[in-house]
Structure 1
Amino acid sequence: MKIEVSAFPVIETNRLILRKVTKDDAGSVLKYLSDKDVMKHVGLDPFNTIEDAMSEILWYQSIVEKGTGIRWGITLKGQGEVIGSCGFLNSVPQHYRTEIGTELSKDYWGQGIASEAFEAVIRYGFEHFNLQRIEALIEPPNIASQKLAEKNGFIREGLLRNYEFTCGKFDDLYMYSLLKQDFDNC
């Protein structure tokens, strides 16, 4: 179940095109990842430089090359600007599972865009990567992401105490999961 792609897949939804993020998108990536509100629950400090954005884009490329994940840039149809990203990381091929993550420019919050992208990426993972389980690790104060996961059928399994050390502190994370059979029954 290693996440392997011969050509980077493009996903189209009603309003969105999910595509590969390239170095040409660094300015757009910097724009939303420099926002403290967007980064509040990501586990990283807000970005300050175009080099920060380039490093993020290189990370997106490296997880595809290693087969441990894939990250799509979220764009509105008819517009090229990347306004967020969504994808898989920390894949465990022998167990047919992966984690999902997403972030979106604050300018687009509350419009259903994150949910549309999230659902499309989940569907792609189950249909093309033969996943059995998709996990979402969410900080307890991040109510919006909890609602996004629950809206898409994820079940909160429990609290992982002091699970990550990010930005100089230990973070608790809720473990959410969605199983293929649960998604198929939606």
Structure 2
Amino acid sequence: MNLFPELETNRLVLRNITKDDADSILKYLSDEEVMKYYGLEPFQTIEDAWGEISWYQSIKANQTGIRWGITLKGQGKVIGSCGFHNIVSQHFRTEIGFELSKEYWGQGIADEALDAIIRHGFEQMEFQRIEALIEPPNLPSQKLVEKKAFKREGLLRKYEYTCGKFDDLYMYALLREDFFQS
């Protein structure tokens, strides 16, 4: 069973991203502010968007991740994405990632989308631990995961090399038992 699980919330449908979504993805992933902490340079071409979509498809096919397109109910346009990557199945652990088109910031959309995928991750994918690696200057993402009861566990110094520089990352984690107690 390798069907793509569509998730629905009050305002959102989280669905599979296809090549037909390339224009939408190019639009928000070409924005410097959206890409500031994404680990890639802002996209320039439709080929950049196709490459990102290919990555989404490959992590699903390889069972190392899953990425949902965030859409508003009744509108098909992808306005962001969220999901899991670097799944380590033998340890029941994964990392979470998310981004949203700037025009939808501050409306609680990322919050709502994360609620859905975190619940899916613990209930359906049987994760024990969901991690979030966040650059120290990225305060909005830190606030969002802290609101979801993620705990900051430490600082990973010079952990990633992206966009020509080494980045420190805070390690956050949410454990299954903490999720079900809240």
Q: Normalising by the residue count of structure 1, what TM-score does the alignment of the two structures yield?
A: 0.97
Structure 1 residue aligned with 2:32, among 30, 33, 36? Answer: 36
Please list, as runs of the form range in 1=range in 2, the aligned pairs for 1:22-171 lying within 5 A after superposition: 22-171=18-167
Q: Measure how far apart 1:171 and its partner are.
A: 0.1
The Cα offsets for residues 81-129 of structure 1, whole Å up to 9 and x where unpaired, read as: 0000000000111110000000000000000000000111000000111
Q: How many residue pairs align between the two structures? A: 182
Structure 2 residue identity aligned to 1:134: I
Aligned-partner Cα distance in 2 for 1:183–1:17: 22
Q: Measure how far apart 1:57 and its partner are.
A: 0.2
Q: Measure how far apart 1:20 and its partner are.
A: 0.2
Counterpart secondary structure, 2:84: strand
Q: Normalising by the residue count of structure 2, what TM-score does the alignment of the two structures yield?
A: 0.99
Aligned-partner Cα distance in 1 for 2:170–2:123: 26
Q: Which runs of 5+ in 2 are unaligned?
A: none
Query: Looking at both structures, which has the greater relative contact order when contacts are Cα pairs under 8 Å and sequence separation is at least 6?
Result: 1
Of all paired residues, the percent bearing the same amino acid is: 71
| RMSD, aligned CA | 0.5
Q: Which runs of 4+ in 1 moved over 2 A?
A: none
Q: Measure how far apart 1:152 and its partner are.
A: 0.5
Structure 1 residue identity aligned to 2:30: S
Structure 1 residue identity aligned to 2:145: A
**Other-structure match for 1:15:** 11
Counterpart secondary structure, 1:83: strand
Counterpart secondary structure, 2:14: strand
Q: Which runs of 5+ in 1 are unaligned?
A: none
